[in-house]
Copies of this chain bind each other. A is one copy, B any other.
Amino acid sequence: MLGIFDSGVGGLTVVKELLRRHPSSGFIYLGDTARTPYGNKSAETIRRYAVEDARFLVDKGATTILVACNSVSAVAMDELRKEFPTIKFFEVITPAVLSATGKKIGVIGTRATIGSGVYERRLKERDPNVEVISQACPLFVPLVEENWINKPETKRIVRTYLEPIRRQQVDALILGCTHYPLLTKVIRVSLQKRVKIIDSPSALMDTVEREAASELVDGTQKYYFTDPSAATDAIATKWLGTMIKGVRAELA
């Protein structure tokens, strides 16, 4: 069975992409809303949380796990694979790196993701001559979670953060955080038209369809949160366009 986890609601963009392609696919989602966000916490703390999150999904029967969180994908994959050797893990960084073509690539993400340097390292492994321009955008997650998607204040903050990337005239921009696809329209107008925007949920689902098609089978869809609330249900319902009622997850 397919398990999907994230620090909070951001990973629901992965669920959204999964459901767009396979509306009846079964899965369990875990959002660690009691400890969200992860992106400004230390690598050590993120690793501990990631193992606890994955253990919850494994105990519920997950055999393939999508790590729908760039911060976890950036710092905790070795830990997860060591702790759960029989589970097949997919993370969000490799698929985005493989989709990003061009000589100059921009990457935006949380402080943890950008600070880890993982995108730059992976992009250079693929093409040692690529130029990478990285920018941490720590205010994007709270803006998305407040649903300030189309506010003038948000447009201005996006423009401020993206200015160094716009100046460098990149060929592609990787949205290195699962929250960011919700800001795509605003990001789009802050960059030159020809810039290819790569969002990780879509790149991830390409990979899953290729490498784990047998897991994409019809089944029940269940949403767990470590701090379920009316606010979380409301944001999930709005993003996914269908009524969501989260269930409390008690992590071991």
Q: Does A45 interact with chain B (Cβ within 8 Å)? A: yes
Question: Which of these, B34, B153, B229, contacts A160 with CB under 8 Å?
Answer: B153
A33 CB-CB contact with B under 8 Å: yes
Query: A41 interface residue, CB < 8 Å from B?
Result: yes
Is A103 an interface residue, CB under 8 A from the partner?
no
- Interface presence of A211 (CB below 8 A): no
Bound-state CA distance A156–B231 (Å) is 25
The yes or no answer to A130 lying at the interface (CB within 8 A) is no
Interface residues on A, range: 20 to 34
Q: Which residues of the partner chain B approach A156 to less than 8 Å between Cβ atoms?
A: 152-153, 156
Q: How far, in Å, is A162 (CB) from chain B's closest CB?
A: 13
Interface centre among A45, A111, A152, A153 (most CB of B within 10 A): A153
Residue of A35, A138, A148, A160 with most chain B CB atoms under a 10 A cut-off:
A35
Complex Cα spacing A216 to B147, Å: 44
User: Are B33 and A41 within 8 A (Cβ)?
Assistant: yes
Quote the shortest CB–CB distance from A112 to chain B (angstroms). Answer: 10
- What B residues does A143 contact at CB under 8 A? 139
Q: Is the CB of B139 within 8 A of A40?
A: no
Closest Cβ of chain B to A244, distance in Å, is 16
The residue among A40, A152, A227, A228 with the most chain B CB atoms within 10 A of its own CB is A40
Q: Which residues on B sit within 8 Å (CB–CB) of A41?
A: 33-34, 227, 229
**Nearest CB on B from A23, distance (A):** 31
CB of A212 closer than 8 Å to a CB of B:
no
- Check B160 against A231 for contact (C-beta < 8 Å): no
Residues of B within 8 A of A42 (CB): 227-229
User: What does the 1/0 interface line of A130-165 toward B look like (CB < 8 Å)?
Assistant: 000000001100110110100111001100100000
Q: Once bound together, how far apart are the Cα atoms of A152 and B146, in whole Å?
A: 20
Question: What 1/0 flags go to A7-37 for Cβ under 8 Å of B?
Answer: 0000000000000000000000000011100
Complex Cα gap A35–B143 (Å): 19
In the A-B complex, the 4 residue pairs with the closest CB atoms: A142-B142, A45-B227, A42-B229, A35-B35
Chain A residues at the B interface, C-beta cutoff of 8 Å: 33-35, 40-42, 45, 111, 138-139, 142-143, 145-146, 148, 151-153, 156-157, 160, 226-229, 231
